[in-house]
Amino acid sequence: MVSLVKTRSRLPQVQYDELLIWLLVALLTLGLVMVYSASIATAEGSKFTAYQPTYYLMRHGVFIALGVLAGIFAFQVPVQTWQNYAPYLFVAGAVLLLLVLIPGIGREVNGSRRWLSLLVINLQPSELMKLFAVLYAADYTIRKGKVGHVFSKAFVPMFVVMVVVGALLLLEPDMGAFVVIISIALCTLWLGGFNIKVFAGLLVALPLAFGALILSSPYRMQRVIGFMDPWSDPFGKGYQLSHALIAFGRGEWMGVGLGASVEKLFYLPEAHTDFLMAVIAEELGLVGVAAVIALFALLVVRAFQIGRHAAFLERNFSALVAQGIGVWLGVQAMINIGVNMGVLPTKGLTLPFLSFGGSGVVVNCIAAAVLLRVDYENRRIARGLPA
């Protein structure tokens, strides 16, 4: 018996979060299947795709492969290195957001200027900025921890930074990314234990600034209020949402079957990107929607558990990064699903890990790798090993 115990003690312990890895595999796999299902008709009938039904499938597969490779590389980077470079990465992200707005450099699609052309693919800086915002907010909270009770030192810098970034995003316009980044910043400060007065100041000032930016643009105002009654203009501003709701209605409990969606047949715009959830609802029904929500819920819970473990080990930056990633992915998924169901105004946000989009998929994979790295270091430190 003693020898058996000794043998077990010498067995290598698992250094990776297997549950988290399987959650990511499930989301990426489901996304690949549903992107193909949602895009096959569009790809087959479009001159842009050379009438190839597998056009989006192949590209999405390449994006996933690139994301996995980028994630493997990101996993090799110690969390301390991310902390050291967090402010510089955030500044680099802001510069990229500025470059997008310069005519001739930024690429405009459907009235939005959100992309930088890199010949083969287009880079969407706002996706990178979400990751950089997580790192910067965590580093800012740690650096300002000793003066977190001083309003001018803790409140003003973060407020100014968020207003500048928000202005750049809304000029694209990309209101959805702005909402996600604001959520990341506020939740990180809250989780970091900032003084309630400072947190309340940001909680009041940022929405006021956000509201002023919305009111200053009739286009943004229409986007905010247009979702309330899509049937009042079903062939105009309510067209996309009305067809998304039809897709949800057709799906009922079990769905119409994989590949049998009608709305994806040139009725529902952006069926493979922003409104992929509507196709999931139509083809897989309430069961499929519940499964997707459950996967994201487990992912967010696991991120917060990893963050709590890091906090227990007094690795405060790692804790805030893990929980910030959880907030980011959870809020973005919630907004996308809410938009598809008509309970939130259209934001132009994709469903993390599932929707078609190169920048989004790659950055999501990098964020997942950083989360896995935090957990990896937690496990090593808990065993008395160097991170």
Give the pLDDT of residue 6: 47
| Other beta carbons less than 10 A from residue 13's beta carbon | 9
What is the distance between the alpha carbons of residues 377 and 10, in angstroms, rounded to a whole number? 20
User: At which residue do the structure tokens 């399987």 appear?
Assistant: 22
| Other beta carbons less than 10 A from residue 243's beta carbon | 21
Q: Spell out the residues 6+ positions from residue 375 whose beta carbon is closer than 8 angstroms to its own.
A: 16, 17, 20, 306, 309, 322
Give the pLDDT of residue 271: 92
Peptide bond into 173 cis (omega under 30): yes
Give the pLDDT of residue 255: 94
| Other beta carbons less than 10 A from residue 200's beta carbon | 12
| Other beta carbons less than 10 A from residue 256's beta carbon | 17
Give the pLDDT of residue 348: 77
Q: In this structure, what token pair is assigned to residue 174? A: 């990309």
What is the distance between the alpha carbons of residues 286 and 361, in angstroms, rounded to a whole number? 25
Question: Does the model's pTM come out above 0.75?
Answer: yes
Give the pLDDT of residue 224: 66
User: What DSSP character marks residue 259?
Assistant: T
Between vectors from CA 351 to CA 348 and to CA 353, what angle results, nearest 5°? 135
Which runs of consecutive H residues, i.e. helices, occur in 50-150?
A: 55-75, 79-100, 125-143
Backbone angles phi, psi at 47, to 5 degrees: -70, -30
Given a contact cutoff of 8 angstroms between Cβ atoms, the answer to whether 367 and 75 are in contact is no
| pLDDT, averaged in runs of 10, over the chain (387 residues) | 45 75 97 95 84 92 96 97 96 93 79 77 90 95 72 74 86 86 88 73 70 68 69 78 92 93 90 94 96 97 97 95 97 95 85 92 97 96 84
User: What DSSP character marks residue 315?
Assistant: -
